[in-house]
Amino acid sequence: MSLVELTQIRKSFGPVEVLKDVSLKVEKGEIVAIIGRSGSGKSTLLRCINGLEQVQAGRILVAGIDVTARNADLNVLRERAGMVFQSYNLFPHLDVERNVTLALKLVKKLDREAAGKIARDVVARVGLAEKLHAYPDELSGGQQQRVAIARSLAMQPALMLFDEITSALDPELVGEVLRVLEGVAKEGMTMMLVTHEMNFAKNVADRVIFMHEGRIHEDGPAREILQTPRTAELGSFLSAVL
Ligand code: ADP
Ligand code: MG
């Protein structure tokens, strides 16, 4: 079974259908970049996978959980599918370590020592070992986003979802966050990431999905999709962003 399986999902907001018959499988270890114009349904797709939005039709299976079942355990789902957003949403009154350990203590019920050990490990993996006791307002946007990634990694998810996590950053801070993502990818994490960083998609992703008007318009190996678009819609999107 694939790690993520979407079968003919439909999602509407009121009368507006924003995901139209989307089917998709993601295998363990795959790095999937999702690209497309603003409003094409990229965020909604990730939010459905993570149970933040409910679909009107279709079936979503994530790491063995039927997300679309009426009694789906969304807490377990979100432990298995970590999500990082454009806004980092760190708790301003907690230092880096406590931002990372909070869910480990509350959700995973780890004691202080066990949670602290994991926090030190993941904070080091995002290159911020020396900032363990810094507060969010003492960190740059790029560093805060790296803490948000560490916080998600700490839960040892089966899958990580990233929604334009570098879009709000000053250009000089984008690279450090992409390097952290690349490191996470190399460790074998399964990742689905919405991004406008086409070089990153080309070099790090195994596969690129192009969303257009609520549908998967193209889906294939990253270099193939980005270098030789098959449809006019992808061609014009790429010439606008590259
Ligand atoms: P993308 O991430 O590709 O920019 P989104 O998934 O955010 O696109 O949005 C797809 C469409 O759904 C857009 O037309 C957007 O306005 C609409 N939409 C997204 N979220 C909501 C919401 N909570 N309520 C109403 N419309 C929404
Ligand atoms: Mg979006």
CA 42–ligand 1 middle distance (angstroms): 8
What percentage of the chain reaches a pLDDT higher than 90? Answer: 97
Backbone phi and psi for residue 205, each to the nearest 5 degrees, phi listed first: -75, 145
What is the DSSP code (8-state) at residue 50?
T
Predicted local distance difference test score (pLDDT) of residue 242: 76
Quick one: tokens of 68?
């679309």
Determine the pLDDT at residue 53: 95
Q: Which residues surround ligand 2, an ion (CB under 5 A)?
A: 43
Pairing of strands 159-163, 81-84: parallel
Does the pLDDT value for residue 42 go beyond 80? yes
CA–centroid distance, residue 192 to ligand 2 (Å): 13
Q: Whose CA is closest to 67, among 125, 4, 141?
A: 4
The CB of 38 under 6 Å from ligand 1? The reply is yes
> Residue 193: is it exposed, middle or buried by C-beta count within 10 angstroms (0-12/13-18/19+)?
buried
C-beta of residue 158 within 8 angstroms of C-beta of residue 76: no
Contact 208, 177 (CB under 8 A): no
pTM of the model: 0.96
pLDDT in tens, 24-40: 999 999 999 999 999 99
Distance CA 225, CA 231 (A): 10
The predicted model gives 207-223 an average pLDDT of 98
The ipTM is: 0.98
Q: SS3 of 29, please?
A: coil
Count other Cβ atoms within 10 Å, centred on residue 161. 28
Whether 203 has a pLDDT exceeding 80, the answer reads yes
Distance from Cα 169 to the centre of ligand 1, integer Å: 22
Task: Please tell me the predicted confidence (pLDDT) of residue 236.
Answer: 97
Distance (Å) of CA 131 to CA 33, 36, 47, 159, 202: 30, 35, 31, 26, 31
The DSSP output letter for 214 is T
